A and B are shown apart, each in its own frame.
Chain A
Amino acid sequence: MRREGSAFNGLGVVMLKELADHLTSIRFIILELIVMVIAVGTVYVATQQIKDTVAEDPFLFLKFFTTSREPLPSFIFWLSLLVPVMAIGLAFDAVNGEHNRRTLSRILSQPIYRDALLFGKFLGALMTLAIALVVLWLLVIGLGLLFIGIPPGGEEVARAFVFLLVTLVYAGVWLALALLFSILFRSAATAALATLGLWLFFYVIWPVLAGELAQIIVPPDPRYMALGLQTPGTVVLEQFLARLSPSTLFGEVVVAILDPTTRALGPIYLSQLQGAVLGAPLPLGASILIAWPQIVGLIATTIILFVIGYVVFQRQEVRA
């Protein structure tokens, strides 16, 4: 049975309304201000550190993102912390908010499908985040120019741009999760807490837990321990488990993209390093290739979470 008309009727209208709502909401302005302040602070501190230590580096500009100086962590640390919070903050009441304001049945009685509403909300929030991240990105590059006075090279800009895109994909994961929970839970507070709880779990607890679980499932071999080495089986399993968390995936991608000397994300055998010039930078294409599975993983997670939300939303009763 074919549905009449297009599922995307009204998609643009919903998206633009969501975008306008987000950009003018106090919630978003506060989050954006926090990120701005942190960006200025970390880049300034990074500049000081760079001036002190790094004399000559072909990828000086990328150091703005990754360099930290005690006690302040680096910019990417803050970004990986705050991007999920921003994404969750934008979407945790996307659907249940419409329910609770009793606008859902009125909107759905207009000639649009539910697809348009849900997809429009997702895209609206994603565009909001994209605008925020682009602003932030330009801010960091601008500040870098101001503080150091050396223009970035093409490769550096390209890497920074890929980093921007990957950050947006990472934001999409948490956006899709928050959207899903806003469909599942009728109360916005419950949805926000559940999403933040899951984020904390993946960000803080899971990396520790992955190590412990790997030790239990594949106990370290005493022969390796005697040599002061890690057991390959345990390490591989630990990494597999850790990679179930989107935070881990994002962290690995960032390392590969922003540090051109990264050659592998995981344990490698000495034989694989034969002929390699350690410390020599890889071209951008090779770096992306290293991080490609992680990037695909993040995109796939976003799609899966969105599809689950979509299916649940299609079957949900609209009555309050």
Chain B
Amino acid sequence: MSGEIVIEATDLCKNYGEAIAVDHVSFTVGRGEIFGLLGPNGAGKTTTILMLLGLTDISSGEVSVLGFNPAREPLSVKRRVGYLPDTVGFYDQLTAADNLRYTARLIGFRLVEREKRIADALDRVGLLEFADHHVGTFSRGMRQRLGLAEILMKGAQIAILDEPTSGLDPHATSELLAIIRRFKTEGVSVLLSSHLLERVQSVCDRVALFSAGRIALIGSVSELGREVLGAGYVVDIEAEGADLVERLARVPGVTRVEQTGIGKLRLHADRDVRSEAAAEVVALHGRLKYLGVEEPSLEAIYTHYFAGRPDESLKEGARHAA
């Protein structure tokens, strides 16, 4: 994470009457960082995003977006931040370029600059050849890309994307994620929310796991893995040789050796022990067939974390019903 902080939320709360949607949420996003808000539907991700944009009132707490307060200076915030809402909509009867023209006029770009920015943005998301097609004919993935084009056109310093990949096929998803990665190389910070953990894991620098309006966990994926799953590293090894289990268990750093199949072992260690394990197998004149380290998956972290807290998931269910 680079030095400059572009979004800072402190003890953010939002309640609708009795119901609490967001409960003391605090996080920061640095410049050029891709930050993920992850959690089930209704966990408070979208509400948090709307508060950052000044589109909904903040019940209590402080937010600063690029040094501006979204509640008091919404125009300054909205001029610098691009937002792609959950299932973004466009005017179907207008062409892609006309949709962007309307937004560009609202932002206040002059004619020459407007046309240049629109063509440039459409080109970067691969929609230039569809500029004069009606958005009504666009697929879901194309609409999402048009939404990203709008953010590019705006020249936003922060891109806030709400469920950008939901409902997309794998191909469209990877296209979209590639565009999101490009934001990062241009120094644009990205805040994205999702309930699809696997795809998001590949792009996010850091994530915040939401549950029932609170941030349950926050950090990089590998940090969270160590914190939640306990063991830092899981090394899978497939090899043959006598006394292999005993020898491997004596390797410094290995906490446990598990037999997962015939000739298959799993080592739990607090560091990466692949080279030592390989050396042991070779020393025994065994045959090493496979050696790999398992990255902690966000999915595993998530399931593991929330499996241990049935009461919280119950509460959440009750809120959904309400």
A interface residues, Cβ below 8 angstroms from B: 1, 3-5, 9-10, 13-14, 17, 21, 101-103, 105-113, 317-320
B306 within 8 A of A: no
Minimum CB–CB distance for B46 against chain A, Å = 6
- Closest-by-CB residue of B relative to A117 is B106
Q: Are B72 and A103 in contact (CB under 8 A)?
A: no
In the complex, the answer to whether A111 meets B108 with C-beta atoms within 8 Å is yes
Q: How far is the CA of A5 from the CA of B73 in the complex (A)?
A: 8
Find chain A residues with CB under 8 A from B90 CB: 101, 103, 106
Residues of B bordering A, CB below 8 Å = 46-47, 50, 53, 55-56, 72-76, 78-79, 81-93, 102-103, 105-108, 147, 150
Which 7 residue pairs are nearest across A and B when measured between Cβ atoms?
A: A102-B89, A109-B83, A111-B79, A110-B106, A13-B105, A105-B85, A101-B89
What's the Cα separation between A107 and B82 when bound, in Å? Answer: 11
A10 to B105, CA, bound (A): 8
Q: Are A106 and B75 in contact (CB under 8 A)?
A: no
| Contact status of A319 and B50, CB under 8 A, knowing A4-B76, A111-B107, A112-B106 | yes
Additional A-B contact list (15), CB under 8 Å, known A102-B88, A106-B147, A113-B74: A4-B73, A9-B108, A13-B102, A13-B106, A102-B85, A102-B87, A105-B50, A106-B90, A109-B53, A110-B107, A111-B75, A111-B107, A317-B56, A318-B55, A319-B47
Assess the A10–B83 pair: CB atoms within 8 A. Answer: no
What CA separation (Å) do A113 and B78 show in the bound complex?
Answer: 10
Whether B89 and A4, one on each chain, are in contact in the complex, defined by CB atoms closer than 8 angstroms, is no
Q: How far is the CB of A39 from chain B (nearest CB, A)?
A: 28
Bound state CA distance, A107 and B84, in angstroms? Answer: 10
Question: How far in angstroms is the closest Cβ of chain B from A10?
Answer: 5
Residues of A within 8 A of B147 (CB): 106
CB distance from A2 to the nearest CB of B (A): 9
Contact A319 B46 (CB under 8 A): yes
Nearest residue, chain A, Cβ from B79: A111
Provide a sorted-by-A list of 9 A–B residue pairs whose CB atoms are within 8 angstroms: A4-B72, A4-B76, A102-B85, A102-B87, A102-B88, A102-B89, A106-B88, A111-B78, A113-B74
Do the beta carbons of A106 and B89 come within 8 Å of each other?
yes
A5/B75 contact (C-beta < 8 A), A13-B106, A318-B56 known: yes
**With A101-B91, A101-B92, A105-B55 in contact, is A320–B106 under 8 Å at CB?**
no
Q: Which of A13, A105, A106, A109 has the most CB of B within 10 A?
A: A109
